[in-house]
């Protein structure tokens, strides 16, 4: 298949997302076309670098990448500070660029460093997980976590280029790949019933990494995100629909100190809670809720939540960045393929929704 190109409009410029098998081999050419011509520092993590260094080694200054720890706990201010020190030590100036070569943690941390080093240098995203290919690498949101919550420090810094290569996904552990599929399901719920139904019908081929199925699936998700982001880059309104499942999901990650869940797994639970709320409010049919629950179940078991207290999750939700002027803007499903953003979800409703997914009510 020929690579698929998607254009994303931002306040600064239009950038391109390329999706296709072995597209990473064209990275120098694509970077040149995108105007990314200065010295490059590749930011990655040890597991990705061990498996795929050959793909980007020639981009790296003196063949030395900046490696950050793997896992959500590395998405922190100390990690970004170490990236600043590397950039300063190697004398990178404002003509330089960062190439984020890894999953969402690498993309977010490197992206925040790029947004803030010397008040901003160019960023290239080369996502190596399904979740980062379909979601976090596109849209320009970068940032890190604080102990109090997820993504509380960040910036809007659109990349100069995104290159999504499905071949890189073949080495992902099965759990990591499944975690990305929850975000793929999210796109079907918020914007496209045909996409949702295609995932359900082709799940075996998707899990087998069939590029004929996987490449258009990644492209469809990127196109949905591109359309939403182009309409609302800074999350003033419509972009909030991309947070479906993320309010409860982020709370689960925070109360378990980012150790129990892969991000997508937490979002899986968050979508189930949001669906329960949607049904309670009469926005979503029980039939659609059952379809969503069944598809999530087919991906395999999720980590347990029976020991997690709703009171602690509610405290974490109050620190969520979607709380504006003390009011939580919650994304609900208006059926599969549609959403509604409501500002009046009550604590009682949230507690009931979290009880419905198996959490301990306290």
Query: Quick one: pLDDT at residue 321?
Result: 57
pLDDT at 67 over 90: yes
Q: Which residues contact 298 (CB under 8 A, 6 or more apart)?
A: 200, 203
Domain 4-171 CATH class label: alpha beta
Q: What is the pTM of this model?
A: 0.91
Q: Tens of pLDDT along 254-297? A: 999 999 999 999 999 999 999 999 999 999 999 999 999 999 99
- 4-171 and 174-356: identical CATH topology: no
Q: Tens of pLDDT along 37-49? A: 999 999 999 999 9
pLDDT at 61 over 70: no
**pLDDT band at residue 150 using 50, 70 and 90 as cut-offs:** confident
Q: Tens of pLDDT along 314-360? A: 999 988 756 655 577 899 999 999 999 999 999 999 999 999 999 99
Q: Please give the full DSSP string across 155-198, using - where no structure is assigned.
A: EE---SEEEE-GGGGGGS-HHHHHHHHHHHHHHHHHH-HHHHHH
**pLDDT band at residue 63 using 50, 70 and 90 as cut-offs:** low
pLDDT at 298 over 60: yes
Query: Quick one: pLDDT at residue 275?
Result: 98
The Cα 267–Cα 253 span in angstroms is 9
Q: Tens of pLDDT along 83-98? A: 999 999 999 999 999 9
pLDDT at 305 over 60: yes
Q: Which CA distances in Å does 74 have to 103, 138, 143?
A: 12, 20, 12
Domain assignments of the chain as residue spans, ordered by start: 4-171, 174-356
pLDDT at 141 over 70: yes
CATH assignment of 174-356, among 1.20.1090.10, 3.30.70.60, 1.10.760.10, 3.30.300.130: 1.20.1090.10
**pLDDT band at residue 155 using 50, 70 and 90 as cut-offs:** very high
Average confidence score pLDDT of the chain = 93
Cβ atoms < 10 Å from Cβ of 112: 25
Query: Quick one: pLDDT at residue 239?
Result: 87
The Cα 359–Cα 20 span in angstroms is 40
């Amino acid at each position: 298949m020929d690579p698929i190109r998607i254009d994303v409009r931002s306040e600064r410029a239009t950038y391109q997302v390329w999706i296709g098998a072995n597209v990473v081999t064209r990275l120098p050419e694509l970077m040149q076309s995108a105007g990314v011509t200065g010295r490059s520092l590749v930011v990655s993590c040890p597991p990705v670098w061990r498996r795929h260094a050959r793909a980007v080694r020639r981009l790296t200054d003196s063949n030395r990448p900046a490696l950050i720890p793997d896992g959500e706990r590395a998405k922190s201010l100390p990690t970004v500070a170490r990236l600043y020190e590397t950039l300063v030590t190697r004398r990178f100036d404002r003509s330089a660029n960062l190439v984020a070569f890894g999953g969402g943690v690498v993309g977010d941390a490197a992206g925040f460093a790029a947004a803030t080093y010397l008040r901003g240098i160019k960023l290239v995203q080369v996502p190596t997980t399904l979740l980062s290919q379909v979601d976090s690498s596109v849209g320009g949101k970068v940032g890190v976590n604080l102990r109090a919550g997820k993504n509380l420090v960040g910036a809007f810094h659109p990349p100069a280029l995104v290159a999504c290569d499905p071949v890189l996904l073949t080495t992902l552990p099965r759990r990591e790949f499944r975690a990305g599929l929850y975000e793929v399901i999210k796109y079907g719920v918020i914007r496209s019933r045909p996409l949702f139904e295609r995932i359900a019908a082709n799940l075996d081929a998707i899990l087998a990494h069939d590029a004929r199925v996987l490449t258009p699936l990644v492209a469809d998700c990127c196109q949905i995100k591109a359309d939403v982001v182009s309409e609302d880059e800074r999350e003033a309104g419509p972009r909030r629909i991309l947070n479906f499942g993320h309010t409860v999901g982020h709370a689960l990650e925070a109360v378990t100190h980012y150790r129990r869940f892969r991000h997508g797994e937490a979002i899986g639970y968050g979508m189930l809670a949001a669906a329960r709320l949607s049904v309670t409010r009469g926005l979503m049919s029980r039939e659609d809720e059952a379809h969503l629950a069944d598809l999530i179940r087919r991906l395999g078991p999720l980590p347990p939540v029976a020991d997690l207290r709703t009171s602690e999750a509610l405290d974490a939700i109050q620190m969520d960045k979607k709380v504006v002027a003390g009011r939580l803007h919650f994304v609900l499903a208006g059926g599969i393929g549609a959403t509604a953003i409501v500002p009046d979800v009550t604590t009682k409703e949230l507690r009931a929704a979290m009880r419905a997914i198996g959490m301990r009510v306290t």
